Amino acid sequence: MPPCPACEIPAGHLVDAAVGGAVAVCLKAERAGKGHVNHYLVPLEPLDGGLRAMRLVYIDPDSPVERRAGALILGPLAEGAAEAQVGDVLVTEAGEAFLKVLDDEQSQRLWAYVDLASGQVRRRRERHAAAGLRAWRLEITAPAGS
């Protein structure tokens, strides 16, 4: 698929985009502002710099991104009540799943939570994560450009 502006890709979809000078598979996310929408990428692979690279990266709505066929596949709920770390998926009692990431460098918050169903950025999900944590893996179903 040819590249298109980031604003044309719905939140929650996977994209290939240039992040930090290299192309990465990213999750497209959005945060609603007052009268506008901010567009973000969450690099998933490769994670040069480890989990510190799993952060919201602001992207101009007109920046080119390319759709990527694939999904985040969630594993079973983990046993025990561990504290969520960056890169973990928190699950609420209602069954909502959120990926914990570092917030945008311009933000006053340290963490953000991306709703995996909608791609919307939320904050402070730990107190709602009574159901626990789930492991996840990235599954690409088609090569880039197909």
The pLDDT of residue 126: 63
Percent of the chain past pLDDT 70, that is, above it, reads 85
Query: What is d(CA 85, CA 67) in angstroms, rounded to the nearest whole number?
Result: 28
**Domain ranges across the chain:** 4-67, 70-140
Name the least confident of 44-53, 108-117, 122-131: 122-131
**pLDDT, tens digit, for every residue of 3-61?**
999 999 999 999 999 988 889 999 999 999 888 999 999 999 877 767 777 899 999 99
Whole-number CA gyration radius for the chain: 15
The pLDDT of residue 84: 78
Q: Does the CA dihedral 53-111-28-71 come out positive or negative?
A: positive
The pLDDT of residue 41: 95
Check: CB of residue 98 under 8 Å from CB of residue 122: yes
Neighbours of 108 (CB within 10 A): 6
| pTM of the full structure | 0.87
- Of the pLDDT bands very low, low, confident and very high (cuts 50, 70, 90), residue 68 is very high
Total length of the chain: 146
Token pair of 123 as six digits = 């904050």
Mean pLDDT for the chain overall? 85
Q: Write the DSSP string, 87-141.
A: T-EEE-TT--EEEEEEPPTTSS-SEEEEETTT-BEE---GGG-TTEEEEEEEEE-
Check: CB of residue 103 under 8 Å from CB of residue 110: yes
Q: 3-class DSSP state for residue 8?
A: helix
